[in-house]
Amino acid sequence: MLRAPHFLPRAVAAATLLVALAGCGRSSPPVVAPPPPEVVVAKPVVAEVTDTIELTGNATAVETVDLKPRVGGFVTAVHFADGQDVGVGDPLFDIDDRTYRIARDQAEAEIEREQAELLELESELVRDQALLPRGAVTQEQVGIITAKRDMAAATLKKDRAMLAQAELDLGFCRVTAPIAGRIGARTVNVGELVGGGVAPTTLATIVSVNPVYVTFFADERSLLVARERAIRGHREGQREERKEDAVGPGDEDPSWRNIRDLAIPIDVALVTDEGFSRRGVLSFVDIAVRASTGTIRCRAILDNPDRLIAPGMFCRVRLPFGDPAEALLVPDRAIGIEQGRRTVAVVGADDRVTIREITPGKLDGQMRVVTKGLAAGDRVIVSGLQRVRDGAVVRPVEAQPAPPARE
């Protein structure tokens, strides 16, 4: 076996030492600082905002009709599909009308018989009245004929009424829509026997779809404040029109006693709506306050052109509370939470970020009212919050925030 020279380990160690010494002589590369993060900033929007109170309610139909037949019989035809829209007078169900046609024909025949009998009695009465002066007939006989004529006339009148009833029953064999709206699922099919009269069968239900009601419960204070605010608006408009002094209590318009004439606006939102994009007016307030809860039942009416609101749907209701006042609004997404505090990131004149605590107010669409902690000229970060921290320098990009959903 061959052995390495005894001087080889020393040579390797010396070479390693030289390489290390040579590396220590080189300078390290400079550290390049990352550029400031880019953020989108916007100034708060200054707008007039009305304080509101949010309540919960349910939608109800303005008109609801349970279809019930006036006559009984077997269903022979159904003229609609479950859930479709119907108009006033549209045919919906047909009931077997053969027995009612027979009843009508019998009534017509009875009238013809009574008319013939009445004509005969009238002719006989005219003849006896002509013979009475000559003594050929007695006054008693004339009286008997007159009574028979009157009885026949009364019977004819009764038979004509029975014919009208028979024609009505025949017409009731076709069930039509009494209102315009949307019809629900049928409860009977062709061939089933339905009852009429005192124990009618419910065939289907129709509800109106446009407009709709939204029923909710409001506390008495909120309702009184909203009413007084609406009355003040009416009085101010009246002063502008008449160009005279304020209207006194004795000159109050009597129509203001009707809550619907005040046209108090009500904003409504469904569970899928962002903000309150649907508007109606308060149309009804119940006659008494519930003593146990201090609330009163209210009802608003609003248009439903897209027909998305169905009876029974849950709705959020917003009732105006107070007069419009100027406020600052920022996008709701610009507000963060830090240790339970509501904060926004404000960029100063030196492009340095300051995390500032604020007091948020109500939500108006996608904008949030800020009641304390901001000024109109502050630059608030609305996009890129996750890339900044307190005291960091950023590169702001100006962007005009979206206006409130509704003023």
What pLDDT band is residue 243 in, cutting at 50, 70 and 90?
low
CA angle 32, 36, 42 (to 5 degrees): 175
Token pair recorded at residue 209: 């779809």
CA neighbours closer than 13 Å in the CB half-sphere of residue 359: 4
Of the spans 48-62, 204-218, 245-259, 352-366, which averages the highest pLDDT?
Answer: 204-218
**What whole-number distance in Å separates Cα of residue 166 and Cα of residue 144?**
33
CA neighbours closer than 13 Å in the CB half-sphere of residue 311: 15
Q: Does residue 248 carry a pLDDT above 70?
A: no
Which residue from 318, 381, 382, 394 is spatially nearest to 350, judged by alpha carbons?
A: 394
The residue-averaged pLDDT of 111-137 equals 87
Tens digit of pLDDT for each residue in 270-315?
988 877 889 999 999 998 898 888 899 999 999 999 889 999 999 9
Residue 250: predicted pLDDT: 45
A 10 A CB-CB count for 297 gives 16
**What whole-number distance in Å separates Cα of residue 368 and Cα of residue 327?**
10
21/383: higher pLDDT: 383
What is the model's pTM?
0.68
**What whole-number distance in Å separates Cα of residue 399 and Cα of residue 392?**
20
Which residue from 215, 218, 213 is spatially nearest to 319, judged by alpha carbons?
A: 218
Q: What percent of the chain has pLDDT over 70?
A: 84
A 10 A CB-CB count for 63 gives 13
Q: Does residue 239 carry a pLDDT above 80?
A: no
96/251: higher pLDDT: 96
Tens digit of pLDDT for each residue in 394-405?
888 887 545 544
What does residue 387 show for φ and ψ, rounded to 5 degrees? -100, 5
Please say whether the beta carbons of 395 and 75 come within 8 A: no
123/239: higher pLDDT: 123
Which residue from 186, 123, 189 is spatially nearest to 152, judged by alpha carbons?
A: 123
Q: Does residue 68 carry a pLDDT above 70?
A: yes
Assigned fold of 66-93+176-207:
OB fold (Dihydrolipoamide Acetyltransferase, E2P) (2.40.50)
Residue 280: predicted pLDDT: 92
Q: Does residue 14 carry a pLDDT above 60?
A: no
Tens digit of pLDDT for each residue in 143-194?
888 899 999 999 999 999 999 999 999 999 999 999 999 999 999 999 999 9
Which CATH architecture describes the domain 97-172?
Answer: Orthogonal Bundle (1.10)
137/203: higher pLDDT: 203
Tens digit of pLDDT for each residue in 340-392?
888 989 988 888 888 888 888 877 777 888 888 888 888 888 888 888 888 88
Assigned fold of 212-320:
Elongation Factor Tu (Ef-tu); domain 3 (2.40.30)
Residue 405: predicted pLDDT: 45
The residue-averaged pLDDT of 38-61 equals 87
What are the residues whose beta carbons fall under 8 Å from the beta carbon of 46, sequence distance 6 or more?
326, 327, 328, 329, 376
Parse the chain into domains and list their residue ranges.
38-49+325-398, 66-93+176-207, 97-172, 212-320
Residue 166: its H or E element: helix 139-171
364/128: higher pLDDT: 128
Q: Is 370 exposed, middle or buried (0-12, 13-18, 19+ CB in 10 A)?
A: buried
Assigned fold of 38-49+325-398:
2.40.420
